[in-house]
Amino acid sequence: MKKLFVIAFLIFASVISAQTISNSSYSTTGYIKSDGTIQNSSYSTVGYIKNDGTIQNSSYSTIGYIKDDGTIQNSSYSTVGYVKKDGTVQNSSYSTIGYVKEDGTVQNSSYSTIGYAKDVRREWAAVVFFFFHFN
């Protein structure tokens, strides 16, 4: 019985530490754990965002970087976009492509809600919604 309790606690704790990523209809599309692990809705790991800003796919291949100033780069260090402190998301040409609001609402450039990433770092939400596709 004690083992069952420990297993249940570990499963519950891992779910609690993951923040839900949802589409505009509030359907869960994935999770981002506090350690930067990105999971799909079935809890399969599809990528990682490391503390140093390195973005990796599920095979640990580097696919990009998040710089301290909010610059998003691909694996060749070419800038693909920017995440401003106010949550504005821009492409490499500085055109606004969306917004990540303080409450986690993610909007496209026309202010239409495309999803939700409550309690997820703005840069991480932008990476998931605008810059890299994790399958």
pTM of the entire structure?
0.83
Q: What was the pLDDT predicted at 15?
A: 45
- Confidence tier at 135 by pLDDT (50, 70, 90): low
Please determine, for residue 99, whether its predicted confidence score (pLDDT) is greater than 50: yes
The conformation of residue 94, written as its DSSP 8-state character, comes to S
Of the chain, the percentage scoring pLDDT greater than 70 comes to 87
Residue 96 to residue 92: CA distance in whole angstroms: 10
Q: Whole-number mean pLDDT of the chain?
A: 90
Please determine, for residue 111, whether its predicted confidence score (pLDDT) is greater than 50: yes
Residue 39 to residue 20: CA distance in whole angstroms: 10
104: left (phi over 0), alpha (psi -120 to 50) or beta: left
Please tell me the least confidently modeled range out of 11-25, 71-85, 95-109, 110-124: 11-25
> What beta strand segments (E) does 1-135 contain?
18-23, 28-33, 37-40, 45-49, 54-57, 62-66, 71-74, 79-83, 88-91, 96-100, 105-108, 113-116
Tokens of 73: 């780069």
Instruction: Name which of 97, 57, 96, 98 is nearest 74 in CA terms.
Output: 57
